[in-house]
Amino acid sequence: MRAVGIWLGICALMVFIMMQVGAVTRLTESGLSMAEWRPLIGWLPPITQAEWERVFALYRQTSQYQLMNEGMALSEFKTIFFWEYFHRLWGRLIGLVYALPFFFFLLRGWIPQEHKKHLWILLVLGGLQGVIGWWMVKSGFVDRVEVSQYRLAVHLGMAVFILGYLFWMAFAFLFPVEEGRKPVARSFRRVGALAHAVIFFTVVSGAFVAGLNAGLVYNEWPLMGGGLVPEDYWSESPLWLNLFENVSAVQFNHRIMAYITTATVAGLWIWSRSQDLAPRARLSVNCLSAMVAIQVALGIATLLHFVPIPLAVAHQAGAGLTFILSLWVLKELRGDAKSRQKADQTPSLEKSTAG
């Protein structure tokens, strides 16, 4: 059982690293350098000069090259090619590290029946994420110099979901909640669940910021152009487009989501002071609160310094850690499954008895 948990933890760590490699790929405008998808024979990079010339010729046909990088030398192309190649290679390695032990553990009977369906789902999601990645890349080949921010948001959202799923399963094997531990009040648990949901949508809103390079405008804080709301927030028509295609509005929305996240987690932490929490549950809330503070500081620093790659990648890593910690909080607040079910039924039973 512990071996299964360690394996899942390794996979989760690899997905976490993958998210940072993806961030570098996006920040260096490298994602469109590989203009073909070869899922079975794409393990090896170009080796011969003829092969380098072939893949470079494919890139020169893209709109990114023609509109942004015309005249790029082969040596420069090799630099951006590396990041996209490494991004795809790492994805394939994740697939192997997940699939091979999975089937081994299945054959040995080491995976409990109640967990098998979840691990099958994760296997399917991993393959689907590869397809989503290519679907995203294809959006940048015609009439634009970067991938669609909508598809980038789907790709990042799926990555975060898979990361959380792997972590949740690994935690169940490695650090199960003690049997008999009572859950906290349902209302407090709901605030923890709200914090988790808000964090997820804040991370996804960051994909729109990255996809539109919205971090390169209004590099000030806390105001935007001297006001709380940028003057050009509603400059696009129809109005709903501003939420997803107006760089000023997209950055403002991400700021607001960050404020909501901070307020929700702060409220959870303050409320936790009056709750009778198990030591590990209290530690999880404290860690989440500290990580949110760090993540806000990273976000502000990234903005004020015009999105340098090291800070931007650290901010992406902080987003992943914040999401993982919010799942840890959920896991701890839920308590033992049997105790939780009994506690949730108690109010209705008491009401029925009183009636």
**Residue 224: strand pairing partners:** 227
**Residue 196 annotated as part of some ligand binding site:** no
Q: How far is CA 31 from CA 35, 160, 278, 329, in A?
A: 9, 19, 45, 35
In 3D, which of 72, 73, 111, 84 has the Cα closest to residue 28? Answer: 84
Torsion over CA of 303, 309, 313 and 319, rounded to 10 degrees?
Answer: 10
**Residue 227: strand pairing partners:** 224
CA dist 208 and 33 (Å) reads 21
CA dist 95 and 11 (Å) reads 9
**Residue 254 annotated as part of some ligand binding site:** yes
**Helix axes 149-174 and 186-211, enclosed angle (nearest 10):** 140
Q: What would the two tokens of residue 300 be?
A: 């502000």
Q: What residues are designated binding site?
A: 254, 315
Q: What residues are designated binding site for heme?
A: 254, 315
